[in-house]
Amino acid sequence: MLYRDILVLDDKSVDDSGTHTQDLTVPHPITELTIDMEIKNGTSIVHDEPVEKAISKIEITDGGQTYWSLTGQEAVAAACFDVGHWPTHRYQEGLSQMQRITIPLRFGRWLGDPLFAFTPTKLDNPQVKVTWAKASGHLTGSVTLGLWAKVMEGVAPPAQALMWKGVETFTSAASGDKDVKLPHDYPYRRMMIRAYASDTIPTNIVTNFKLDCDMGGFVPFNLNVKEFRYLMQNFFGPYTMKKMDHVSQNSYDQTWMAGDTFASIAMETVGNPASAWATGSIMYQQVMAIAADLRAEVLIWGYMPHSTFAHQFGLPEDPASWFPTLEFGEEILWLTQGAASAAVSVAVQQPRPLP
């Protein structure tokens, strides 16, 4: 087997918002496809606007069939769970600074998996679609998009690929159970539940997780948020991420993680001591002697990338152990809500056959 990195789309200047559709004419199995986006900040400090937040949808389609679909922030979380580390990034809040994210879409259990990979030639008209809209603080005319693929030569094209599928997005209520009907077609390898509000810890947004098959016929899990979170943290993470923030006394910035987060600050200018207080939250407090916007390098350590819970079905490398949806009549995820007005989304990773 030989590996090659193929440039699918050279860095291209695109509009401030829109959808770019790229035909996938790669003739070899793709083990990983990378989305690369850059956006430049405008003439003022831009707090809490990483590049992936501007991406509302990433899709892989073939005509009317969608094979892969997540938002930018969900895609970064999925990459953390699939790849094991935070994707390559450059997060900067300063004026006129360039920000960047590269998001790997991995189609196999590991890089170079000979049994699971995406082969475009098996489809009629495969395309990748990226939809975005820059934030108001980003510079007009500064968005750049690129795509590249790591392909395998000398291997028989796999008959299936691991694909992430967004199932449902809703706004949480202050209480009560929300039922999410899950797809009943292919096995589940992994599940993500993202629960985000800018000022609310995810563990307060969803307080219980229950997967119910055939009205109680089989319940793969029924866990309160503490149990679900600690099982997840024993399996996934922790992750580290660096960003260049502008900090002020007693102000707050997003950590873009949750679940036992930690933040450390290194000030750019000498003589301005500062510290960061994360307290395991989704935000960190800046503690310093001078109340002014000062540039600082911030290291974030934690779990739950972009406030996302994850559950692993069976063993990551053993397809026979993944959750067999077709053995049951229906699968419903019940989420007990604990805080209103948060954005909650559910996605599953499935082995999808390629015709």
Q: What integer pLDDT is reported at residue 118 of this predicted model?
A: 98
Q: Do 223 and 185 share a domain, yes or no?
A: yes
Q: What integer pLDDT is reported at residue 248 of this predicted model?
A: 86
| Mean pLDDT lowest among 64-73, 157-166, 231-240, 261-270 | 261-270
Classify each residue of 78-102 as buried b or exposed e, where b means 16 or more C-beta atoms within 10 Å of its C-beta. bbbbbeeebbebbbbbbbebebbbb
Total domain count, the chain: 2
Torsion angles phi and psi, residue 311, rounded to 5 = -130, 130
Q: Do 238 and 174 share a domain, yes or no?
A: yes
Mean of all residue pLDDT scores within the chain: 95
Quick: pLDDT tens for 112-171: 999 999 999 999 999 999 999 999 999 999 999 999 999 999 999 999 999 999 999 999
CA–CA dist 192, 188 (Å, integer): 11
Q: In what order do the strands lie in the sheet with 98-106?
A: 2-13, 144-153, 30-40, 98-106, 89-92, 239-247, 294-303, 258-267
Q: Do 317 and 251 share a domain, yes or no?
A: yes
Segments forming the whole domain that contains residue 108 = 1-158
Given a contact cutoff of 8 angstroms between Cβ atoms, the answer to whether 46 and 91 are in contact is: no
Q: What integer pLDDT is reported at residue 289 of this predicted model?
A: 64
Mean pLDDT of 26-55: 97
Quick: pLDDT tens for 75-124: 999 999 999 999 999 999 999 999 999 999 999 999 999 999 999 999 99
The pTM of this model reads 0.96
Q: Do 153 and 193 share a domain, yes or no?
A: no
Q: Do 153 and 200 share a domain, yes or no?
A: no
Using CA atoms, how far residue 145 sits from 1, 18, 41, 62, 179, in Å, is 30, 12, 16, 21, 37
CA–CA dist 61, 271 (Å, integer): 54
Using CA atoms, how far residue 267 sits from 93, 126, 256, 274, 284, in Å, is 14, 47, 20, 7, 15
Quick: pLDDT tens for 214-249: 999 999 999 999 999 999 999 998 999 999 999 888
Cα angle 224, 228, 234 (rounded to 5 degrees) comes to 150
In the listed set 103, 132, 158, which residue is the last one of a domain according to the structure?
Answer: 158
Structure-token pair, residue 118: 């995406």
Q: Is 256 exposed, middle or buried (0-12, 13-18, 19+ CB in 10 A)?
A: buried
Pairing of strands 55-62, 65-70: antiparallel
Structure-token pair, residue 14: 């695109």
CA–CA dist 5, 93 (Å, integer): 31
DSSP symbol at 228: H
CATH of the domain at 126: 2.70.9.30
Q: Do 204 and 257 share a domain, yes or no?
A: yes
CA–CA dist 104, 198 (Å, integer): 26
CATH of the domain at 270: 2.60.120.730
DSSP symbol at 8: E
In the listed set 158, 183, 205, which residue is the last one of a domain according to the structure?
Answer: 158
| Mean pLDDT lowest among 42-46, 83-87, 183-187, 258-262 | 258-262
